[in-house]
Structure 1
């Protein structure tokens, strides 16, 4: 698909040289978060072993559910870790931490050596840190999965997270962990070893480097295109525009009517489409940058809809009409077709 010699992207660029290709943002964010220090990676592998030890056996899973019900826990089931599901890592770790007491009790009854982990304070603290950092990564991932967004908005989100990682690293150096909520609560009662702060700092530094690798500053989609996000604050000489495009941009920047329309328009696409009638060259250049799909959330929504639709009691091959209703943002007016039907009378 993306081969540089004969792939789909190469063939498209042969007939449309201005076309640009990109790897969607959410996947790159997920790849950046996968690399971990060995000490933290071992914690993740231990949790996966514990979860699999219970979930893969129906009897163990049933007995563990009963134990959770007896202990009146908030949750009664563990969540399997699946590498291809982006939010799975954080949610599996968080669920395992919340059920740590029934997990330890269950593993002790089974005489499993894995039960010893929950008695190890250092191991539990590292688990809590992983829960918090992956929860923050999941929040970033969810903020990137929005419809009618642009590469500029997503670049803003990633840049903000980069800055946060640097700030968190400096805070950790002086013993401040308030940005990790669960960890901060645990540390009020437990004093970690001297190497823990250095471990967290090293992981944050590694995560920052990985995000920089997948989102390099030199390839920031916002560079030289600030005028697209707001044409009324453009500074002359900052963007690479032709003479005609620069003249049109200056006319837009000094048009009070367009400025009012920009402030009231819900998204950039709509604004530049309206501007295209009067200023076609500069609007076309802006729309080409706004055109690429920055995320695959629409595809993911379609896959989820198919999964929910195709079941044992609903197995039609043609589901086009069902998908249209499932994915449409318009709420169906069920009262109209229902009004034309006669209700069955009671017997």
Structure 2
């Protein structure tokens, strides 16, 4: 990653070099017209930047040579393997990250995504161990051992980071669909209410997994007090940073240059808002 960032900074740090690189890509009729800028504070930037450099690797290497800058890694077959692996993994994590973001994401939705990603990691680990991802007769063999080590570390990190979710798997599943819950295995405080609920045809017809909040809000509190408390607990679990990021975005919009100036016009506009 250090090599990638160094190459990008060399190309984009100065306006003259940046414009020359754009013209160079235009002359070659490249699929991309520019190199993306890397922003460390934004995780999603990493995957996009890696993919762009990977797809512009020959052009980038030629341009750097023309600028008397030699980067041996760009022509090293083993380093290219590592770049390809890092690019694919960053894109996988980006896709997973986006699945956890957005409005209306409940803990059951996130848990399903997490379980699916853990299964994907296990499948990918098996494929790498079997060397089923490498090309036929490569110049340099695919560095399977190092990639397996990295995948094992990522798998272990996921096991630690989401350990508590697995502990509460039954409670999450109960919240996700009350009508498929096993009454005998449920907590005693829920059993009578589940028996009442699962035999109510009206509520079965009203149940829709994509509108859990509306369903639980419509349950009579005097009949299903414990289930409603459980639903409130599950629906308010703070499973994503999306709400925090959205709040910061709203605050940034509020802190406009106009609002920071105490003039008659700005005070009037603030009051009208």
Q: TM-score, normalised by structure 2?
A: 0.85
* Structure 2 unaligned spans of 5+: 261-265
Map 1:39-188 → 2, pairs under 5 A: 44-114=1-71, 116-177=72-133, 187-188=135-136
Q: 1:87–1:220: structure 2 CA closer, same or farther, 3 Å change rule?
A: farther
Q: Secondary structure at the match of 1:113?
A: coil
Question: 1:280 Cα shift?
Answer: 2.9
Is residue 190 from structure 1 mapped to residue 138 from structure 2 by the alignment? yes
Question: 1:222 Cα shift?
Answer: 2.4
Question: 1:310 Cα shift?
Answer: 8.3
Is residue 239 from structure 1 mapped to residue 183 from structure 2 by the alignment? no
* Structure 1 unaligned spans of 5+: 1-43, 178-183, 323-347
* Cα deviation digits, residues 160-202 of structure 1 (max 9, x gap): 111111111112121212xxxxxx6xx25735426x1222222
Alignment RMSD (CA, Å): 2.6
For residue 155 of structure 2, the aligned residue among 197, 202, 208 is 208
| Number of residue equivalences | 261
Is residue 251 from structure 1 mapped to residue 196 from structure 2 by the alignment? yes
* Cα deviation digits, residues 229-274 of structure 1 (max 9, x gap): 11111113423342xx3211210011111111114x6321111111
Aligned counterpart, 2:215:
271
Q: Secondary structure at the match of 1:266?
A: helix
Q: Which structure exhibits the higher relative contact order, with contacts defined as CA atoms closer than 8 Å and separated by 6 or more residues?
A: 1
Q: 1:266–1:223: structure 2 CA closer, same or farther, 3 Å change rule?
A: closer
* Cα deviation digits, residues 198-231 of structure 1 (max 9, x gap): 2222211111011112111675442344221111
Question: 1:315 Cα shift?
Answer: 4.1
Question: 1:306 Cα shift?
Answer: 6.8
Aligned counterpart, 1:23:
none
Q: Secondary structure at the match of 1:63?
A: helix
Q: 1:292–1:217: structure 2 CA closer, same or farther, 3 Å change rule?
A: closer
Aligned counterpart, 2:237:
292
* Cα deviation digits, residues 274-323 of structure 1 (max 9, x gap): 1144423321222222122322324434545676x689xx843289xx9x
1:172·1:201 contact (CA, 8 Å) conserved in 2? yes
Aligned counterpart, 1:30:
none
* Cα deviation digits, residues 111-169 of structure 1 (max 9, x gap): 2121x222211111211111111111111011111211111211111111111111111
Greater share of residues in helix: 2
Point out the more displaced range, 85-94 or 230-239. 230-239
Q: 1:79–1:302: structure 2 CA closer, same or farther, 3 Å change rule?
A: farther
Cα distance in 1 for partners of 2:137, 2:20 equals 32
Question: 1:63 Cα shift?
Answer: 1.3
Q: TM-score, normalised by structure 1?
A: 0.68
* Cα deviation digits, residues 68-118 of structure 1 (max 9, x gap): 11112222222222222120111111111111122111110122121x222
